[in-house]
Amino acid sequence: MKTNTIITIGREFGSAGREIGNKVAEAFDIKLYDKEMLARAAKESGICEEIFHSHDEKPTNSFLYSLVMDTYSMGYSGSTYTDMPINHKVFLAQFDAIKKIADEGPCILVGRCADYALESYKNVVSVFIHADMQARIRRIARIYNLTDAKAKDMIVKTDKKRASYYNYYTNKKWSDAKSYELCLTSSELGVEGTAKAIIDYVNLKESIKREERQI
């Protein structure tokens, strides 16, 4: 099965977003990038990869957001880049890496505001995966060998960080249906069912576009 689509996946912690993404990637025979985006950004920017991991999907403040977006819109080079705070450099390097990965062809990009970075691309489907809290607690407790209480605390804290990061760096709201093209609940559909729903949606969208070109 082939596709010409780039799929971005936002996800609640514990909703099996990466596992679902891997199944979609396998079906379409395309690459999936999750933390691999950090390694790519580190390699291309020359910034230590550990720094990317320490800042990964972590919230920042509104002043830094303004500084980052002003610099990105105006372009950056030379002393301007050298004088940037490290948070600033990490965001810009990651933003650039996402675009370069997308330019290479169809793929799946998990998290890290990829939907926002690629909002000008015509062949992108942005997905957000939700799941019932109890289902997420069971999954995280099993994976990390935690009590239900500790698993819930980990979920709440991780989701809060992801939401803060996304809300600052985009003009949209994390997990809000209006921010994405397709929203699915993995606790209702299961991992296989959610992956199939994404695959079917992408195939249907591409089919409609082909028909429109023939008219």
182, burial (CB in 10 Å: exposed 0-12, middle 13-18, buried 19+)? middle
116 has pLDDT over 50: yes
Section 165-169 average pLDDT: 86
pLDDT band at 184, cuts 50/70/90? very high
For residue 170, pLDDT beyond 90: no
pLDDT confidence band for 63 (50 / 70 / 90) = very low
Tell me which of 65 and 175 has the higher pLDDT: 175
If one compares 96 and 59, the residue with the highest pLDDT of the two is: 96
Tell me the CB-side half-sphere exposure of residue 151, using CA atoms within 13 A: 18
Q: CA nearest 198: which of 13, 12, 14, 17? A: 17
**pLDDT band at 97; cut points 50, 70, 90:** very high
pLDDT at residue 73, as a whole number? 46
In this prediction, residue 59 carries a pLDDT of 63
What digits encode the pLDDT tens for the residues 18-38? Answer: 999 999 999 999 999 998 988
Residue 107 has pLDDT above 90, yes or no: yes
Task: Record the pTM.
Answer: 0.87
For 46, phi then psi, to 5°, come to 85, 5
Using one digit for the tens of pLDDT, what is the confidence trace for 123-156?
999 999 999 999 999 999 999 999 999 999 999 9
- Residue 71 pLDDT more than 70? no
Cα(50)–Cα(147) distance, rounded to whole angstroms?
A: 29
For the cut 50, the answer to whether the pLDDT of residue 65 exceeds it is no
Q: Is the predicted pLDDT of residue 110 greater than 60, yes or no?
A: yes
**Are β-strands 31-33 and 124-130 bridged in parallel, bridged antiparallel, or unpaired?**
unpaired
SS3 labels along the chain: CCCCCEEEEEECCCCCHHHHHHHHHHHHCCEEECCHHHHHHHHHHCCCHHHHHHCCCCCCCHHHHHHHHHHHHHCCCHHHHHCCCHHHHHHHHHHHHHHHHHHCCCEEEECCCHHHHCCCCCCEEEEEEECCHHHHHHHHHHHHCCCHHHHHHHHHHHHHHHHHHHHHHCCCCCCCHHHCCEEEEHHHHHHHHHHHHHHHHHHHHHHHHHHHHHC
The domains of the chain are located at: 6-214
> Does residue 113 have a pLDDT over 70?
yes
Q: What is the pLDDT of residue 106?
A: 98
Torsional sign, CA 164, 103, 36, 41: negative
Question: For the segment 196-213, what is each residue's pLDDT rounded down to a tens digit?
Answer: 999 999 999 999 999 888
The closest of 15, 16, 52, 22 to 7, measured between CA atoms, is 22
Chain mean pLDDT for the chain = 88
For residue 156, what pLDDT is reported? 97
6-214 CATH fold? Rossmann fold (3.40.50)
Residue 11 pairs with which residues in a beta bridge?
129
